Amino acid sequence: MRIPCPYCGARSSHEFAYLGDAAPTRPDPSAPDAAEAFHSYVYERDNPAGPMDELWYHSAGCRRWLKVTRDTRTHAITAVAFAGTGEGGR
């Protein structure tokens, strides 16, 4: 599988480290239901058959986190962007 990095170009997936689902966002630790929210954040994952947003780290290239939309059935990648909001994902 080759991942089209927005900076580096298409690269073999072995240059990347895989984190997984890009959907979970860190809960507010001061919220009253923080313990339950963190349990869900850390452990609970969907397992979709189809397109999924995932986080990949280009550890052997530009060292940026990418948000990759990949079809889990075919490995077809339909979108890639730097994760985060700043320039270059920072």
Partner 1 sequence: MSDLLEHIAPTRLVPEGHYGPEGATGVSARAANTSASPLAAATLVARKGATGRLIVACAAAGLPLADAPRSSGGAGLEAVGTGPGRWLVLAEGMSGPDLVARLAGMAQGLAAITDQSDAHLILDICGERARAALEKGVTVDLEPTVFRAGDAATTVVSHVGVTFWQRDGATYRFAVGRSFAPAFLRWLTVSAAEFGFALAGTGRG
Interface with partner 1 by CB under 8 A: which residues? 7-9, 11-12, 14-15, 60-64, 82, 86-90
Q: Which residues of 1-14 are buried (b: 16+ CB within 10 A; e: fewer)?
A: eebebeeeeebeee
8 binds Zn ion (CB under 5 A): yes
Smaller CB separation from partner 1, 26 or 63: 63
Q: Are 50 and 70 in contact (CB under 8 A)?
A: no
For residue 67, the minimal CB distance to partner 1 (Å) is 14
Which does residue 51 touch among Zn ion, partner 1, none (CB within 5 to 8 A, set by kind)?
A: none
Pull the structure tokens for residue 56.
């990949």
